[in-house]
Structure 1
């Protein structure tokens, strides 16, 4: 039953992001020592590692970059304290990004892997594959 609860929490987290939640309100999904690992991708060629404070800050910054975003979960699989999610993401730019104009619809395919501790996300690893622009 725990893995089902973990899958539900991931779905709630992705919906909260889509709804525009950011900063402190996202803290409810994570342990205090949570980390997010972003593997290299088109937006972040070197990848990165963020602690919870950095994740909250980046989510606030993202609110200014995107006027809307959505996640469509294609599959979610749980095994104990781990969840793997395949999702399609669409984000609409609120400001220009490089040569991309306001209103441009970015699209990406995500493989996200979550590790849970005490019912909260302790580790999130993202493999993000963006469509060309």
Structure 2
């Protein structure tokens, strides 16, 4: 049972699953903006052009207010999700060993500036003899 729970935790907190969840939530919030745009701006314009309805300035201001409210809600939702994902990523990296950079395997020839193996004593490109470092 412990193994199952451990595997589930690794699956649920893996980057791809978290990215998908954030995408779904952002998509849902964005669909609210699109719905508001069509309901409050595009449909009234189409109705006005086709003569189906006449809107007063007060009603148009109400539509603008509703649309702006949807945009603000989307921004708030995106910010909250950003903070949550950042916190989860920080928790996931907590306790992990930082990878140390690998030791260099090449160096630059001091004469021709070509990349050569670190233990080379002669440059394969310009055939210069390299000085040995004595410790």
Say whether the fold is shared (TM-score over 0.5).
Answer: no
Q: TM-score interval w.r.t. the shorter chain? A: under 0.3
Q: Considering fraction of residues, name the structure with more helix.
A: 2
TM-score of the superposed pair, with normalisation by structure 1: 0.23
Give the structure with higher Rg (CA): 2
Q: Considering fraction of residues, name the structure with more strand.
A: 1
Structure with the bigger RCO (C-alpha within 8 Å, sep 6+) is: 1
TM-score of the superposed pair, with normalisation by structure 2: 0.23
